Copies of this chain bind each other. A is one copy, B any other.
Amino acid sequence: MQRLIKDLMLKYPGDTTIKAEVSLEDLDDAGAIDEIILTTDSYTIKPLFFPGGDIGRLAISGTVNDIAVMGADPVAMSSAFLIEEGFAIEDLEKILQSMHIACNESGVRIITGDTKVIERGSLDNLIINTSGIGKRSALLDNNLQIVKKYRNNFKALWLKDSNIRSGDQIILSGSIGNHGAAIMSAREDFVSESNILSDVAPLNSMIKEGLAVGGIVSMKDPTRGGIANLLNEWSEKSHLGILIDESKVQVNDNVKSALGFLGIDPFEVGNEGKICIAVVKEKANEVLCALRETKEGKDASIIGEATDEFDVVVVNTVVGGKRILPTPAGDPIPRIC
């Protein structure tokens, strides 16, 4: 269904005589035009408050991260609220405070908005859309210069999904599954004792540390569909295979048991405070060290590499042997973002 809709959307992009640097058909985390990054996300999470965060923190972090993974500096955002009549003003204020804090963490200002109050029954409590713009930075330009030292014919302006080449190392910035498991713990009593917190956070300051080292060719945050979806998108768009070492992918024990109980593969679960980075081999260890110096990236590790020996995502499993990791068929946990 999602696929069908996406294909349909791509048929109607509007005026394509306007030149874009990253366009709708790239299906990347954001679009780009005239050195400006633009991204959008509508949030319909259920419940609105969950261990470790709420829809407000999620909306700011998600949009900041979509800008930052393109290599841009997030600067300004819009917020559009659809509010069901009767929604508690105290809850709205908590959510706004939480957005304010996340904006301050990431150095972003909300400069415009829209608010509509809709009659009861026509939506679930509250929907927030955040869109945002980001700008080119000297850090990104330096980073791309360093990539060019190691790779001929590298001409990318932004850290697109299609930039990866065989040999690039894949870094994951920390443990996976926390956000999805935290949402489930807010829905299901039997998970709530596990004390799992969502990882939702703006990651632009961590990303800056990586860019400052240089050599990064692509970045992406494993939200809907988790790292399984992310790695497959990279594989398809860059036309190569990715080999992942399962033992290097960290899943905390409480997350593993909560998701295991629900029969959900942590590789397919959305995260809101992690990124994957593809970096030229020569700079991989240096980028890794820089990430580990940051609060959000202290558990980063190199989890695999890109290869042109095959064209799918393959996992070297902990128990031995290899398995193909497909694109998830659907969201194992609906309404998590």
Interface residues, chain A, CB within 8 Å of chain B? Answer: 1-2, 4-6, 8-9, 11-18, 20, 22-24, 28, 30-34, 36, 38-42, 44, 60, 75-83, 89, 92-93, 96-97, 99-100, 102-104, 106-119, 122-124, 127, 129, 131, 133, 135, 334-335
The answer on a CB contact under 8 Å between A18 and B75 is yes
Please give, as numbers and ranges, the residues of chain B lying within 8 Å of A92 by CB-CB distance.
Answer: 5, 8
The answer on a CB contact under 8 Å between A112 and B12 is no
CA distance A96 to B5 in the complex (A): 10
The answer on a CB contact under 8 Å between B104 and A15 is yes
The answer on a CB contact under 8 Å between A112 and B38 is yes
The answer on a CB contact under 8 Å between B40 and A109 is no
The answer on a CB contact under 8 Å between B18 and A76 is yes
CA distance A314 to B107 in the complex (A): 44
Q: Can you name 16 A-B pairs with beta carbons within 8 Å?
A: A5-B83, A5-B115, A8-B93, A14-B100, A14-B109, A15-B109, A24-B111, A24-B112, A33-B75, A33-B76, A38-B111, A38-B133, A40-B78, A42-B82, A127-B127, A131-B131
Decide yes or no: A122 and B119 within 8 Å by CB, A13-B109, A39-B112, A109-B14 being known contacts: no
CA distance A38 to B104 in the complex (A): 19
CA distance A80 to B83 in the complex (A): 17
CA distance A13 to B108 in the complex (A): 9
CA distance A131 to B41 in the complex (A): 10
CB distance from A116 to the nearest CB of B (A): 6
CA distance A111 to B40 in the complex (A): 10
- The listed residue (B17, B110, B116, B119) touching A13 by CB distance below 8 A is B110
- The listed residue (B5, B30, B106, B115) touching A9 by CB distance below 8 A is B115
CB distance from A287 to the nearest CB of B (A): 26
Please give, as numbers and ranges, the residues of chain B lying within 8 Å of A116 by CB-CB distance.
Answer: 42, 44
The answer on a CB contact under 8 Å between A42 and B80 is yes
Chain B, residue nearest A40 (CB): B78
Decide yes or no: A78 and B131 within 8 Å by CB, A20-B111, A114-B42, A334-B119 being known contacts: yes
The answer on a CB contact under 8 Å between B15 and A115 is no
Decide yes or no: A110 and B76 within 8 Å by CB, A12-B99, A81-B5 being known contacts: no
Please give, as numbers and ranges, the residues of chain B lying within 8 Å of A81 by CB-CB distance.
Answer: 5, 9, 42
The answer on a CB contact under 8 Å between B334 and A96 is no
Extra contacts besides A36-B36, A41-B80 (20): CB < 8 Å = A9-B96, A12-B110, A14-B100, A15-B104, A23-B109, A23-B111, A24-B110, A28-B112, A33-B76, A39-B78, A40-B79, A40-B80, A42-B114, A42-B116, A44-B118, A44-B122, A123-B123, A127-B127, A129-B131, A131-B131
